[in-house]
Amino acid sequence: MKSLSELAKRVSKARPGDAITLADGVYGGEKCNLAAEGYADHPITIRAENSGKAIIQAPLSVEGNGISLVGLRFETKGKIEIRGRGCRLSRCVMTDVRAGKWVRVLPESRQIEIDHCRFENKTNNRVEMRGCQLMQIVVRNAGEEHHIHHNHFVDIPDGKSSNGYETLQLITEGNPYDPEPGDCGSLIEYNLFERCNGEAEIISVKSNGNILRRNAFRDCRGALVLRHGDGNVVAENFFFGDGESRAGGVRLQGADQVVVNNLFHSLNAFGVAMMDGAQDDLYVRTERALVAFNTFAGCRPALVVGLNHSKYPNGAPPKNCAIANNVFIAPDDRETHANFQTVKLVNDDEPVDWTWEGNITDGALGMPARDGIKTAKIAMRYLPNGVVAPMESSGLIGTAEGDYPYVTTDILGHSRGERKTVGCVEFPARREDGGPLMAADVGPGWSRVIRIER
């Protein structure tokens, strides 16, 4: 196989279960359309003879069902667009591609899997104006069930302007501010984001009914943002600010969003921020959100209530939300941050009809005192892998309040038992129990096999 045009011909004649091998070399030219009909369990596989040595330097379009691309390297103009069912992009590398969008999954697609890839060095962010989402997945909230897992996103520089440079965007077609009912059902898990600084939204979810879990964010500008849509779950993720002064955790709006079992560590923007609603629904009021069993360590502030855009300074404050069994730990350098606030009520606006239950802080409350959040000394220890866990003398162990039967494990996969601990980690916790992803756990070089449960 010596050219993309020859590849396209071979693919068009392929049958389910066929494998096509690309020899080492550079494959350039014009846009190449790969169209075929395979099956998810008997795919048509296009595989590099030697991983990373078949280099694609032209745009690819995948159209059809059950088409897999494995072990390829994409450079220069080597972007990819997918429309189909049961297609897969696996163990590939994309580096310094000269396109605004590197991977785009189009509407009508179902069960697209993108796994064990590395996306790096998106330098065109510095010259392109908007429309530069590295990965954009467009859905109709009709049970698409895409699966994005075990990828490494690294070194995504600041965008030339302030908007349109998300590392990963999951967006409803037409981008309605408040999508109609219907779940997408996609799963974004076990991905590592390092120095992903494109804009204020690292991941932007503008869709309903998705799960984002067990991802790790290190030294990234911005936050995981539930921007439009309802009923999304953010669980068991690790957020580390490291040296990035603009690092955030989770920002949310809309209805029935769930943020549980996450660790927010040394974030200078916020741990969790909940949006006011705007009159034109550009920002939909936060309602019925659950923020529970999270650990906030050294976040300034930890929880922001009523965050708003400068164009909408007096929106409708969050309503009917529950803040339960979270632990808030003040920064270590408390003298430097004497004005630290656990909770920041923007414009001093009180949230409407909220439930506060079982929360504990060892810093200044930052708002009028109320039942459900108390100030106390907290005995915690910092494991070498960054996990913040309660010590045996901690008053967090077994003191969680309320009935949360679906919170059965902690961020490390430990059973919660009958008497749950406040925060994201049960006692005892050890370094070898697991923790945030490292580079060796993700990307094309990872060889371990694990079972993925949906």
What local confidence, expressed as pLDDT, does residue 1 receive? 65
User: CA dihedral in degrees (94, 226, 202, 73; nearest 10)?
Assistant: 0
Are residues 107 and 141 in contact, defined by beta-carbon separation less than 8 angstroms?
no
Quick one: which of 207, 139, 136 has its CA closest to 178? Answer: 207
Q: How many CB atoms lie within 10 A of CB 376?
A: 11
User: Quick check: is 34 in a domain?
Assistant: yes
User: Quick check: is 244 in a domain?
Assistant: no
User: Quick check: is 9 in a domain?
Assistant: yes
Q: 3-state DSSP call for residue 441?
A: helix
Amino acid 175 reads N
How far from 87 is each of 54, 60, 306, CA to CA, in Å? 20, 14, 41
The whole-angstrom separation of Cα 129 and Cα 159 is 8
Q: 3-state DSSP call for residue 438?
A: coil
Are residues 305 and 275 in contact, defined by beta-carbon separation less than 8 angstroms?
no
User: Quick check: is 125 in a domain?
Assistant: no
Q: Report residues of the chain scoring pLDDT below 70.
A: 1, 333-339, 446-454
Quick one: which of 293, 240, 242 has its CA closest to 271? Answer: 240
What local confidence, expressed as pLDDT, does residue 432 receive? 79
The whole-angstrom separation of Cα 75 and Cα 52 is 11
User: Quick check: is 29 in a domain?
Assistant: yes
The DSSP annotation for 179-205 comes to PPS-----EEES-EEEEE-SSSEEEEE
CA angle, 429 then 431 then 437, to 5°: 115
The whole-angstrom separation of Cα 323 and Cα 320 is 10
How far from 354 is each of 232, 240, 241, 277, 314, CA to CA, in Å? 20, 28, 29, 16, 19
Please state the pTM of the whole predicted model.
0.96
3-class SS letters over 261-311: CCEEECCCCEEEEEECECCCCCCCCCECCEEECCEEECCCCCEEEEECCCC
DSSP, res 414: -
The two structure tokens encoding residue 182: 């219907």
Q: 3-state DSSP call for residue 418?
A: coil
SS3 content of the chain, % helix, strand, coil (to 5): 5, 35, 60
Quick one: which of 345, 385, 380, 337 has its CA closest to 361? Answer: 380
What local confidence, expressed as pLDDT, does residue 32 receive? 96
User: Quick check: is 382 in a domain?
Assistant: no
What local confidence, expressed as pLDDT, does residue 338 receive? 57
Are residues 44 and 14 in contact, defined by beta-carbon separation less than 8 angstroms?
yes
Q: 27 lies in which domain range?
A: 1-41+49-77
DSSP, res 55: E
How many domains are contained in the chain?
A: 1
User: Quick check: is 214 in a domain?
Assistant: no
Q: 3-state DSSP call for residue 168?
A: strand
Q: 3-state DSSP call for residue 373?
A: strand
User: Quick check: is 279 in a domain?
Assistant: no
Q: Which residues contact 411 (CB under 8 A, 6 or more apart)?
A: 236, 238, 261, 262, 263, 387, 424, 425
Plot region of 334 (φ>0 → left; ψ -120 to 50 → alpha; else → beta): alpha
The whole-angstrom separation of Cα 131 and Cα 75 is 19
What local confidence, expressed as pLDDT, does residue 336 receive? 54
Residue with tokens 């190449």: 32
The two structure tokens encoding residue 120: 């790096």
Amino acid 361 reads T
The two structure tokens encoding residue 421: 């601990």
